[in-house]
């Protein structure tokens, strides 16, 4: 190999390494934006059928909403539902979570007494009481987050900015979805454009159906859990129902985690309530 070939290959390798590093750097910088765009695309796919229904509906006098007007009306309806959920469910759930943290030491003491009685009767059982001794240290750690209120506030504002960005992106995708689709299709050869358009339609339908199915699944679990735990007189039914609903969105381990939290709370109640919770979660 001549010196010129060696220099050329070295320069090529360096150029490839530099370009790869620059590509990784760019991807890292825009990762958050890409995630927001992906979330917006999924939301737009899920809301598009609702927008079309509002757009086709006739108001008194025979006039219809424009595309932008239909999206705006849908946004107002979503905000109204969110405010209703906040006032009826989330605010009481926050109060329940506060009381749960305050009464957690009492729950732990009741569970410890129950476990100690079982170990006295059956000494071969594992030492679960030792694990319970670690919970107070966890609650102490959680209580230290109070002085970090400024950091929490900044993180909240950052999350709020992301939510607003997603709403804006989703609005634009719903409003200009047809033009965006035509622009993407135009990037492909003319012979492939019909197939690409069909694939994009299927992707949008799949994403939209998945989003609506996940929301319905979460609600179909959270509502029965809230009613069932209320009938069983288990404390914090709203909080536990929200945990169960969110758990349904997590594959494999989510439902188990949701049931485990409710069973831990039921351990501090009467034996019939514990049995009822176990049977209820097994059926649900």
Give a three-class secondary structure readout of the chain: CCHHHHHHHHHHHHHHHHHHHHHHHHHHHHHHHHHHHHHHHHHHHHHHHHHHHHHHCECCCCCECCHHHHHHHHHHHHHHHHHHHHHHHHHHHHHHHHHHHHHHHHHHHHHHHHHHHHHHHCCCCCCCHHHHCCHHHHHHHHHCCHHHHHHHHHHHHHHHHHHHHHHHHHHHHHHCHHHHHHHHHCCCCHHHHHHHHHHHHHHHHHHHHHHHHHHHHHHHHHHHHHHHHHHCCCCCHHHHHHHHHHHCCCCCCHHHHHHHHHHHHHCCCCHHHHHHHHHHHHHC
**pLDDT, mean of each 10-residue run, the chain (284 residues):** 67 82 78 81 84 79 80 88 77 73 71 69 61 53 48 56 84 85 84 84 80 85 89 85 85 82 81 86 82
pTM of the predicted model, to two decimals? 0.59
Q: What is the pLDDT of residue 88?
A: 74
Q: What is the pLDDT of residue 153?
A: 47
Q: What is the pLDDT of residue 126?
A: 58
Q: What is the pLDDT of residue 84?
A: 82
């Amino acid at each position: 190999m001549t010196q010129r070939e060696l220099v050329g290959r070295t320069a090529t390798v360096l150029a490839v390494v530099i370009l790869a590093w620059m590509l990784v750097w760019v991807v890292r910088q825009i990762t958050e934006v890409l995630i927001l765009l992906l979330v917006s695309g999924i939301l737009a796919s899920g809301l598009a059928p609702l927008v079309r229904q509002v757009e086709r509906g006739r108001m008194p006098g025979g006039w219809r909403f424009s595309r932008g007007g239909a999206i705006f009306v849908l946004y107002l309806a979503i905000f109204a539902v969110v405010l209703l959920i906040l006032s009826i469910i989330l605010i009481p759930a926050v109060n329940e979570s506060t009381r749960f943290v305050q009464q957690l030491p009492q729950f732990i003491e009741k569970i410890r007494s129950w476990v100690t009685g079982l170990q006295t009767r059956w000494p071969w059982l594992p030492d679960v009481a030792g694990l319970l001794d670690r919970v107070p240290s966890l609650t102490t750690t959680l209580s230290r987050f109070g002085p970090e209120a400024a950091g929490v506030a900044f993180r909240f504002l950052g999350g709020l900015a992301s939510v607003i960005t997603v709403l804006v992106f989703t609005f634009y995708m719903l409003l200009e979805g047809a033009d965006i689709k035509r622009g993407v299709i135009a990037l492909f050869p003319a012979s492939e454009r019909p197939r690409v358009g069909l694939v994009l339609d299927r992707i949008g339908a799949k994403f939209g159906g998945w989003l609506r199915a996940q929301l319905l699944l979460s609600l179909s679990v959270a509502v029965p859990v809230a009613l069932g735990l209320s009938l069983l007189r288990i404390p914090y039914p709203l909080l536990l129902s929200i945990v169960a609903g969110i758990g349904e969105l997590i594959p494999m381990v989510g439902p188990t985690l949701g049931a485990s939290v409710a069973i831990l709370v039921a351990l501090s109640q009467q034996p019939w309530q514990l049995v009822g919770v176990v049977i209820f979660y097994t059926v649900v």
